[in-house]
Amino acid sequence: MPETTEGIDFDELGICRACNSSEQKMHVDWDERKKTLESILDEAKENAAKQNLGYDCIVPISGGKDSVYQLHVITKIYGMRVLAVTASHNWYSKVGWYNLVNALEEFDVDHMMYTPARSTVNKAASRSLGAIGDACWHCHSGVGAYVLHVATKFKIPLLIWGESIAESSGRASHFEPVRKFDRDYFLKVSAKLTPEEIAQDNEEKRSYHMFEPPTAEECEEAGVRGIHLGDFLFWDEERQTEFIKEKYHWLEDKIEGTYKGYKSAECIMPGMHDYTNYLKRGFGRATIHASMDVRNGLLNRDDAIEIAEEYDQVEPEVLNYYLKITGLSREEFYETMKSKRKKVLSDKLIPVRNLDNQDIKKPFVLELIEDMRKNNKSQ
8 HSE (CA, 13 A, CB side): 17
Q: What's the confidence (pLDDT) of residue 350?
A: 84
CA dist 163 → 215, 257, 281 (Å): 26, 21, 23
Residues 44, 40: Cα–Cα separation, whole Å: 6
Q: Determine contact, residues 258/311, Cβ cutoff 8 Å.
A: yes
357 HSE (CA, 13 A, CB side): 13
Residues 192, 196: Cα–Cα separation, whole Å: 12
pLDDT bucket at 169, cuts 50 / 70 / 90? low
pLDDT bucket at 357, cuts 50 / 70 / 90? low
Is residue 355 pLDDT above 80, yes or no?
no
Domain range 17-231, its CATH number among 3.40.1710, 3.40.50, 3.40.390, 3.50.50: 3.40.50
Is residue 177 pLDDT above 80, yes or no?
no
pLDDT in tens, 191-229: 999 999 999 999 999 999 999 999 999 999 999 999 999
Question: Order of strands across the sheet with 158-161?
Answer: 110-114, 82-87, 57-60, 158-161, 225-228
Q: Average pLDDT, stretch 254-268?
A: 94
Residues 81, 84: Cα–Cα separation, whole Å: 10
* Domain range list for the chain: 17-231, 253-374
CA 288, chain centre distance (Å): 14
User: Packing angle between helix 270-281 and helix 319-326, nearest 10 degrees?
Assistant: 90
Specify the 3-state DSSP secondary structure of 158: strand
Specify the 3-state DSSP secondary structure of 161: strand
pLDDT in tens, 311-322: 999 999 999 999
Q: Determine contact, residues 207/200, Cβ cutoff 8 Å.
A: no
Q: Determine contact, residues 29/56, Cβ cutoff 8 Å.
A: no
